[in-house]
Amino acid sequence: MNSSQRSGITQGSGDNAATQTLTNTALGISSIEQDDGDRTRYVRDPDGRMLGMITGGQRYNAATDAQNSTLALAEDGTDSSDPDVAYDYTPYGQTEATTAGSGGAVAGSNPFTYIGSYEFDNGDKAMGHRYMSHFTERFTQQDPSWQENNQYTYAGCDPVNNSDPRGLDYLSDVARYGTGFGMTAAAGGCVVGGVAGAYTGMPGIVAGGAGPVLGGAIGCGIGFGIGWTGGVVAGVGYAAYKNIF
């Protein structure tokens, strides 16, 4: 089943207006077609990170950092240490592209720059559920998750240590990963604790066959608690890593 969706973006005005048709998939935007028919396709990994793009019949490989910002684009088969386009960013994502050879046209075909967001011609960026202004360096819509004290700030006003590519507040990742890790570890702790408790008959004061049964229940409860605590700690740590790196 084809789950892709197409949408249009018009940038500029009057005689300078140009329309792009974007094809969206579960991994992100897979192609952009200009109003003159030229199309650029984007190759992504299973996490949606851009691996490269194909434009004008030529493939360009992308180098990205841990935050998914595009660092460089190099023509396939060429020396990656001398890319066609190299990108530099300010903490809030102001983009500067350094080009060589045909790099100017290549840079014009790649709107995916800071943390993988779509960058408009005026420098504004589409970040998941919201847009960020290049002028104010803030979101132009309120935080839909209502987790920020200031509903418009980006990454808790600390873009060096945090990022928010989905526009849902960087703290939402802490809750998401903390809960996920906690439930997984708690389930594992319950199983291990239950088996150990049943085997040892933890509450020795209970006679006969009830000992292992009750021991297993208590062991499960203890294992669940330990697993949940450890899992939440691990999940919060992982979320922090995802946002910092």
The average confidence (pLDDT) of the chain is 77
Model pLDDT, residue 88? 94
Q: Quote the pLDDT of residue 244.
A: 42
Residue 128 is assigned to a structural domain of this protein: no
d(CA 243, CA 36): 39
- Is residue 146 in a domain? no
Q: Are residues 89 and 184 in the same domain?
A: no
Same domain, 98 and 196: no
Reported pTM: 0.66
Task: Give the mean pLDDT of 29-35.
Answer: 92
In a domain, 192, yes or no: yes
How many residues belong to the chain?
Answer: 245
Q: 41 is in which domain, residue-wise?
A: 5-116
User: Is residue 9 located within the same domain as residue 109?
Assistant: yes
Report the Cα–Cα distance between both ends of the chain, in Å, rounded: 35
Instruction: Domain count for the chain, please give it.
Output: 2
The burial class, CB within 10 Å (0-12 / 13-18 / 19+), for 62 is buried
Q: Give residues with Cβ within 8 angstroms of 176, minimum separation 6.
A: 239
Express each pLDDT in 121-130 by its tens digit. 999 999 989 9
d(CA 212, CA 201): 4
**Are 95 and 179 part of one and the same domain?**
no
Please check whether residues 88 and 176 belong to one and the same domain: no
- 139 is a domain residue: no
User: What is the rounded average pLDDT of the residues 213-232?
Assistant: 53
- Report yes or no on 122 lying in a domain: no
Question: Is the residue at 124 inside a domain?
Answer: no
Higher pLDDT, 159 or 235: 159
User: Are residues 104 and 27 part of one domain?
Assistant: yes
Which two three-digit tokens encode residue 136? Answer: 């104010």
